[in-house]
């Protein structure tokens, strides 16, 4: 199964994708995570992407479609994929069709996490992750069970994203409205689009998605 999780910054794409990965043996392909890894490693892609990401703007379609193709080539054809944060423009949606077709894959569902944008600023500015394993947390909505210790791996190192400040979040939302939201009708016309209530509690959102996937 190949699915897309679509929604604005902070909608919960990463949170839900990592749950599906753990529960269903699918693989999460997050272009945001891949680009952050490239920035950290100082690769040519990372050098191009760093300032763009810090400004909350979109990295070029060629770069992100390139890294998605490469990531798919590392997976066996039977492995299901959750696209998290890709596609984000009409050109990327078109590239994804070609990328999947070339690998004998097809798109099964596009799941829109519908959210109230104002609530997202709080979600994003309160977000942090484990510096070792990447498990996601939130100052208000999801604290580690034991303060200062990661539930998943026991690490005591946590980090915050450089683009998780209010000003950059507003730019990311403007980019979403202008360039990403317009691809929803494309998937609707293909009868692939399913909407879930992304404002519900994390577990409730997961069950809504499970119902769609069957």
**Residue numbers of the site for Mg ion (CB under 5 A)?**
14
Residues annotated catalytic, as ranges: 13, 88, 127, 161, 172
Determine, following the binding rule CB under 6 A, whether residue 85 of this chain makes contact with ligand AP5. yes
The kind and range of the H/E element at 109 are strand 109-114
Task: Tell me which of ligand AP5, Mg ion, none is bound by residue 202, counting a contact when its beta carbon lies within the kind-specific cut-off of 5 to 8 angstroms.
Answer: ligand AP5
φ, ψ of residue 23 to 5 degrees: the values are -85, -25
Binding mask 175-214 for ligand AP5 (x = CB under 6 A): --------------------------xx--x---------
Task: Give me the DSSP letters along 42-59.
Answer: T-HHHHHHHHHHHHT-PP
Determine, following the binding rule CB under 6 A, whether residue 150 of this chain makes contact with ligand AP5. no
DSSP 11: S
Q: What sign for the dihedral angle of Cα 35, 187, 121, 24?
A: negative
- Asked whether the bond before 87 is cis by omega within 30 degrees of 0, the reply is yes
Determine, following the binding rule CB under 6 A, whether residue 144 of this chain makes contact with ligand AP5. no
Q: What sign for the dihedral angle of Cα 138, 158, 8, 117?
A: positive
Binding mask 8-47 for ligand AP5 (x = CB under 6 A): -xxxxxxx---------------xx--x------------
Determine, following the binding rule CB under 6 A, whether residue 7 of this chain makes contact with ligand AP5. yes
- Determine how many CB atoms are found less than 10 A away from the CB of residue 66: 14
Distance, CA of 154 to CA of 166 (rounded, Å): 30
Task: Tell me which of Mg ion, ligand AP5, none is bound by residue 108, counting a contact when its beta carbon lies within the kind-specific cut-off of 5 to 8 angstroms.
Answer: none
Binding residues with ligand AP5: total (CB under 6 A): 33
When CB distances to Mg ion are compared, the closest residue is: 14
Strand partners, 3: 82, 109
Determine, following the binding rule CB under 6 A, whether residue 172 of this chain makes contact with ligand AP5. yes
CA-wise closest residue to 157 among 169, 144, 166, 167: 144
Strand, coil or helix: 131: coil
- Out of 19, 56, 110, 135, name the contact with ligand AP5 by CB under 6 A: 56
Residues that bind ligand AP5 (CB under 6 A): 7, 9-15, 31-32, 35, 52-53, 56-59, 64, 85-86, 88, 92, 123-124, 127, 136, 138, 141-142, 172, 201-202, 205
């Amino acid at each position: 199964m190949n699915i897309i999780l679509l929604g604005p910054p902070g909608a919960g794409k990463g949170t839900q994708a990592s749950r599906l990965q753990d529960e269903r043996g699918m693989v999460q392909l997050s272009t945001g995570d891949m680009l952050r890894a490239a920035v950290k490693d100082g690769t040519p892609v990372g050098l191009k992407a760093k300032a763009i990401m810090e400004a909350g703007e979109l990295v070029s379609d060629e770069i992100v479609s390139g890294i998605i193709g490469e990531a798919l080539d590392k997976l066996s054809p039977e492995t299901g994929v959750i696209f998290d944060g890709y596609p984000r423009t009409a050109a990327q949606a078109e590239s994804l069709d070609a990328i999947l077709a070339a690998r004998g894959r097809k798109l099964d569902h596009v799941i829109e996490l519908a959210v109230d944008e104002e609530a997202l600023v709080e979600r994003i500015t309160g977000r942090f992750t484990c510096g070792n394993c990447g498990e996601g947390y939130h100052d208000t909505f999801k604290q580690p069970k034991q303060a200062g210790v990661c539930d998943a791996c026991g690490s005591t190192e946590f980090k915050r994203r450089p683009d998780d400040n209010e000003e950059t979040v507003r730019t990311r939302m403007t980019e979403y409205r202008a360039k990403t939201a317009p691809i929803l009708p494309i998937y609707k016309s293909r009868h692939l689009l399913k909407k879930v209530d992304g404002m519900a509690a994390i577990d409730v959102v997961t069950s809504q998605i499970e119902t769609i996937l069957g």
